[in-house]
Structure 1
Amino acid sequence: MTTTQHHFLLEPYKGSRTRHRCPGCGKPREFTRYINTLTGQHVAEHVGKCNRENKCGYHYKPRQYFLDNPTEETRAWLQSDQHLKTYTPPPPPPPVDYIPPRYLERTRQQFARNNFYRFLVKLFGEAEAARLADLYKLGTSKKFKNHNGYAALFWMIDKDGNIRRAKAMAYNPETGKRIKAPVNAVKVWGKNGYYNCHKDRNPVADISKQILGKDNANTKACFFGEHLLSAAPSAPVAIVESEKTAVIMAGVYPDCLWLATGGKNGARWTAQEVYQALEGRNVVLYPDLDSTEDWADRAKILAAACESVEVSTYLRDNTPPEDHREGYDLADYFIKRLLSPDQEQTTAQADQEAQEGFTLPPGWQWEELNLKHGTHRVLIDHDGLPASWNYNPRTKRETLAVMIAEQPLVNSLIQTFDLQL
């Protein structure tokens, strides 16, 4: 009889609909099914391969399926040499072009004129700003010049320490806001080569290809701050949208690893090749106020790799309607509090004063709470509540005490990270 030639391959990735629940380990969106390339149809629903090769290893091939379920046609196919012929996939993409570390090191200077760094000093003081700059390998770029200073350079470094991309962004050193039209516009590298940064363009530039010296460089994005994952394999992970927010929140709440997507779609962070860096982690997403529903959908995709994924509503629950209209992010919320007119010192300076013998208001006391990932001091007010919940301090000294004791995000993190009282 004449047999039909079969070619089988694992279905190419075309979004989450092409990934299924593994019949071996039960993990959703980890199972890739085989398809017949002549018909485009799947083989049986359990014929395929689990992407979790090390933890599961399920792989049921078409040949074995036909051996286990023989028909007249499949017997003939197995007896011919057709089953030995494999589908020839398209050529693999060129290797990723990584940026040599020497380029990063050259930008780790002139922080006194780095406008974003200047804002960090205003928020946290010189010592904490230096720590944050070192933590995220913050650089200085002359791509944009404004307010007698330069742009910040954010480096995307993956878990293995490879430098993947570099993004230059202009900021106002007084407000921390991104500059929409830099005072001195310069030529900026874009997808189609150089273009002039006019007033109607946001002064943001991915200068990776310019650094590498070739416009056809194969650069791949990753999470901003991803390099921190290797250093703290068990620490909880918080993900925000902008690089600026990740850096600031690392100063506000340093017990989390703060990563950024680099935009709503950013590093294509819902692609498996990107989010697999979060394998086995406990993750909380902190979307901007205009992205909560969208990020709730994306959390379902990340669940395929993470131990747990939650979408925080802290920002939505603690901001007034006018902030919702502005599309505030988490950094905007805490910047407003850190720079409030009543604040006499930065949070870092006030905390240091507390450690050195700050006199507490009557009836207030320090208590230690045992978190899953460490012990933390919390100031308890005269009502027996954490001072961070006291939004109506009665005196100036109580106002300062609240600032000193502030444990940002405590309301949401108590549940998220299993606070043991």
Structure 2
Amino acid sequence: MFLLTKIIYQMETFKYSLDKSSKKNLCPNCNKNTFVYYVNTETGNNLTTDFGRCDREQNCNYHKAPPKGKRGYLIPFLALQDISIKAFKLVDVNGVISIIPKSQILEQNKENCFISEWYLKTSTINYLNNESKYFNTDLTPFINEVRALKQPKQVEPSYHSLQLQNKLINQYNNQKNDDNLTAFLLNNFTFDEVQKASQDYYLTGANLCWNDATIFWQIDTSEQIRSAKIMLYNKYTGKRIKEPYNHINWLHKAIKEPNFNLYQCLFGLHLINEDYQKNIAIVESEKTAIIMSIFLPEFIWLATGSKSNFKFELLEPLKKRKCFAFPDKGEFNNWSNKAKELKTKGFKIEVSNLLEQTSFKNGFDLADYYFNRN
């Protein structure tokens, strides 16, 4: 089946694509020389000068694509499994599982694929910032096949046990040393402040993947452990170790737990049941949520775990609460646009542009702001 699909892709004619040369042009939105034109792949000619994409994705984000053809977005994945003659099972980079009709996957590679815009609009797959291009799908023999598909059966989420959590906490505590993140926190805050934050968020050291790594437990409002993320930090700077590779893993992968269905929730979500008077504050990084709970304890601090997790599925438990979101520098527009959608569904959520007014580089977060301020 994969061979047949590959042959079909090779037969397709991609009518429009972004210019693959290094040539840059004047962006009609920000007036910077960072604009890539769309070209007609049959003639090699550029389209009119307003069709293209600005490379300043976070600062400008201008993108106007040709109106004809079928638009597809590039979706990175962890796995893409052939499960039937009509469908693939896709596990995206956040571990979310989706069943995708084969007719809606327009191009496929080892680590990513292009999925039709039409299908993505009906799914929970995040694609706002992803690369896109247009496909001429006239030769695709099963373009409307999705209409005949039945809705996939909902996969039940998996949970880690409290026994496993207690075992890991006790194993590391018996070593009588601190994980690197806790060591960093103790160098910047009092013992009592760090102890309270660690207890609130069940901050756990571990030697599962790397010595003195940190486990961040995702616990939902029913006190069930949805997942646990393992990350390694520099004990002196508090920054994540990203060289020679990104030191991040999931607990269910580290302990080789079979058939684990990852359904994430917000980090710190279990805390919203403990105080109904406090407002909710949302950041991206788990570490930042912990640090800000010390700096500003008048809020309940939660973390999405990634910029793409600022979405309805994870935020739904907060619908009745007043929320303030603090995106990392460069992400304000994306989170603000998402918040506008959420407000139409009854959410009470505001997005702060505090970091956009600073001279920080893109990617800096609220914890960086407070450490530099103090």
Confirm or deny a common fold (TM above 0.5).
yes
**Is the aligned partner of 1:90 residue 2:151?**
yes
Structure 2 unaligned residues grouped into runs of 5+: 1-117, 125-143
**How do 1:80-119 and structure 2 match up within 5 A?**
89-108=150-169, 109-110=172-173, 112-119=177-184
C-alpha offsets along residues 12-44 of structure 1, whole Å, 9 cap, x if unaligned? Answer: x9666799xxxxxxxxxxxxxxxxxx9999xxx
**How do 1:48-197 and structure 2 match up within 5 A?**
89-108=150-169, 109-110=172-173, 112-145=177-210, 150-181=212-243
**Is the aligned partner of 1:256 residue 2:299?**
yes
Per the normalisation by structure 2, the TM-score is 0.57
C-alpha offsets along residues 361-408 of structure 1, whole Å, 9 cap, x if unaligned? Answer: xxxxxxxxxxxxxxxxxxxxxxxxxxxxxxxxxxxxxxxxxxxxxxxx
2:236 aligned counterpart, secondary structure: coil
Task: Verify the 8 A CA contact 1:138 1:154 in the aligned structure 2.
Answer: yes
Task: Verify the 8 A CA contact 1:285 1:311 in the aligned structure 2.
Answer: yes
Q: Distance in 1 between matches of 2:119 and 2:299?
A: 33
Tell me: CA distance 1:125–1:14, structure 2 relative to 1, closer, same or farther (3 Å): farther
Q: Which amino acid aligns with 1:143?
A: L
* Equivalent of residue 325 in structure 2, options 257, 262, 285: 285
More strand by share: 2
Q: Which amino acid aligns with 1:328?
A: F
2:334 aligned counterpart, secondary structure: helix
* Residue of structure 2 equivalent to 1:81: none
**Is the aligned partner of 1:208 residue 2:269?**
no
C-alpha offsets along residues 313-366 of structure 1, whole Å, 9 cap, x if unaligned? Answer: 22223x2x2x1x25310011112344xxxxxxxxxxxxxxxxxxxxxxxxxxxx
Task: Verify the 8 A CA contact 2:220 2:226 in the aligned structure 1.
Answer: yes
Tell me: CA distance 1:122–1:94, structure 2 relative to 1, closer, same or farther (3 Å): same
* Equivalent of residue 276 in structure 2, options 206, 211, 233: 233
* Residue of structure 1 equivalent to 2:15: none
Q: Distance in 2 between matches of 1:297 and 1:223?
A: 20
TM-fit CA distance, 1:254: 0.5
* Residue of structure 1 equivalent to 2:343: 303
TM-fit CA distance, 1:240: 0.5
Tell me: CA distance 1:166–1:331, structure 2 relative to 1, closer, same or farther (3 Å): same
Per the normalisation by structure 1, the TM-score is 0.51
Task: Verify the 8 A CA contact 1:275 1:305 in the aligned structure 2.
Answer: no
Q: Distance in 1 between matches of 2:229 and 2:299?
A: 23
* Residue of structure 2 equivalent to 1:329: 365
Q: How high is the sequence identity, in percent, across the aligned residues?
A: 32
Q: Distance in 1 between matches of 2:163 and 2:151?
A: 35
RMSD: 2.8
Tell me: CA distance 1:337–1:123, structure 2 relative to 1, closer, same or farther (3 Å): farther
Q: Distance in 1 between matches of 2:275 and 2:162?
A: 22
Structure 1 unaligned residues grouped into runs of 5+: 1-12, 20-37, 42-86, 182-198, 339-421
Q: Distance in 1 between matches of 2:339 and 2:120?
A: 14
Q: Distance in 2 between matches of 1:312 and 1:171?
A: 27
Q: Which amino acid aligns with 1:308?
A: K
* Count of equivalent residues: 234
TM-fit CA distance, 1:275: 2.0
Task: Verify the 8 A CA contact 1:223 1:269 in the aligned structure 2.
Answer: no
TM-fit CA distance, 1:303: 2.0
Work out which of the two has the higher radius of gyration on C-alpha atoms and give 1 or 2. Answer: 1
C-alpha offsets along residues 281-336 of structure 1, whole Å, 9 cap, x if unaligned? Answer: 1111101112111111111233245542111022223x2x2x1x253100111123
TM-fit CA distance, 1:159: 1.1
**Which deviates more, 154-163 or 89-98?**
89-98
